[in-house]
Amino acid sequence: RALERELRLAFETGQFELYYQPLIACEGRRVVGAEALLRWNHPERGLLTPAAFIDVLAQKPAAAAVGDWVLRTACRQAAVWRASRPDFRIAVNLFEAQFRSGHLLELVREVLAETGLPPQALELEIVETIVLRNDPLTLQLLDDLRALGVGLAFDDYGTGFASLSLLKRFPVTRLKIDRSFIRDITTDAEDAAVVRAVLYLGRSFGMEVIAEGVETEAQLEMLCRHDCHEVQGYLFGRPVPAPVFAESFVTGG
């Protein structure tokens, strides 16, 4: 398809860019890291968010190359920022294609060695479709990644079909509550119940929990009151280019 060829060309000519959004600890309301998020500087259509291309890209073999570039670029950036913020963590989204590439473990090892980033400073975000395949190689790979010491976060948690038993079998270290549950948390009793249940689940399994899409003080207050560990959302900052992020959250501010 046309979009596929365009995506490949875009990657080869450097039209992809990473934006960074702050991750904030409820305790002390400190910036503890960033999530790297892909953007496409399209020559005609301007800046595109993943909504415009990620589903097509994810299905193509090129996703592995793009994902590997995201991982390497984000880790290099994090290594720079850790010079002024020693505890800084970088969260990177993985494509399923990277799990099938056969070199993900080696790549992560190599990127950590090359950047000097300690493994606990890297968190890989996976969506449940990756684990729902129940593929023994994927399970093994997740175990191996975890054994390296990198964090593994379950992204968009609560939106899919991930059964509770998956949490028992996968070495996940963090749950990211999907923003659809956060939006009405202060007015919708059922959403609030879901969020409290995920927080309880996280605690029971020894996992940390981060809430996405936090836009108001009221949402923040409620999440922190229920011992949510971290939050992410427009209340603290939108995804921005690296220099802007550095100015607001690393060297400046």
Out of 68, 123, 128, 155, the only residue in the binding site for ligand G (CB under 6 A) is 155
Q: Determine, following the binding rule CB under 6 A, whether residue 227 of this chain makes contact with ligand G.
A: no
- Measured CA to CA, the distance from residue 161 to residue 45 in angstroms comes to 35
Q: Cβ of residue 75: shortest distance to Na ion, in angstroms? A: 20
Q: Of Na ion, Mn ion, ligand G, none, which one does residue 68 interact with (CB within 5 to 8 Å by kind)?
A: none
Q: For residue 79, which of 36, 30, 28 has the smallest C-alpha distance?
A: 36
Q: Determine, following the binding rule CB under 6 A, whether residue 50 of this chain makes contact with ligand G.
A: yes
Amino acid sitting at position 237: G
Q: In the complex, which residues of this chain contact Mn ion (CB under 5 A)? A: 93, 125, 155
Q: How many CB atoms lie under 10 A from the CB of residue 104? A: 24
The stretch among 116-124, 198-206, 226-234, 245-253 that binds ligand G (CB under 6 A) is 226-234
Q: Cβ of residue 130: shortest distance to ligand G, in angstroms? A: 10
Q: Determine, following the binding rule CB under 6 A, whether residue 38 of this chain makes contact with ligand G.
A: yes
- Measured CA to CA, the distance from residue 163 to residue 190 in angstroms comes to 19
Contact 21, 5 (CB under 8 A): no
User: Three-state secondary structure along 197-249?
Assistant: HHHHHHHHCCCEEEECCCCCHHHHHHHHHCCCCEECCCCCCCCEEHHHHHHHH
Q: Cβ of residue 229: shortest distance to Na ion, in angstroms? A: 16
The stretch among 45-53, 139-147, 194-202, 241-249 that binds ligand G (CB under 6 A) is 45-53
Q: Contacts with Na ion in 132-161 (CB under 5 A)?
A: 155-156
Total residues at the site for Na ion (CB under 5 A)? 2
Q: Determine, following the binding rule CB under 6 A, whether residue 158 of this chain makes contact with ligand G.
A: no
Q: Contacts with ligand G in 175-204 (CB under 6 A)?
A: 179
- Measured CA to CA, the distance from residue 43 to residue 101 in angstroms comes to 30
**For residue 38, what are the β-bridge partners?**
18
Out of 194, 213, 245, 250, the only residue in the binding site for ligand G (CB under 6 A) is 213
Q: Give 69 or 84: the residue with its C-beta nearer to Mn ion.
A: 69
Contact 78, 115 (CB under 8 A): yes
Q: Determine, following the binding rule CB under 6 A, whether residue 73 of this chain makes contact with ligand G.
A: no
Q: Cβ of residue 210: shortest distance to Na ion, in angstroms? A: 10
Q: Where are the beta strands (DSSP E) in 94-231?
A: 122-126, 151-157, 174-177, 208-211, 230-231
Q: Give 96 or 155: the residue with its C-beta nearer to Na ion.
A: 155
Token pair listed for 24? 């904030």
Name the site residues for Na ion (rule: CB under 5 A). 155-156
Name the site residues for ligand G (rule: CB under 6 A). 21, 37-38, 49-51, 54, 67, 70, 93-95, 155-156, 179, 212-215, 232-234, 239
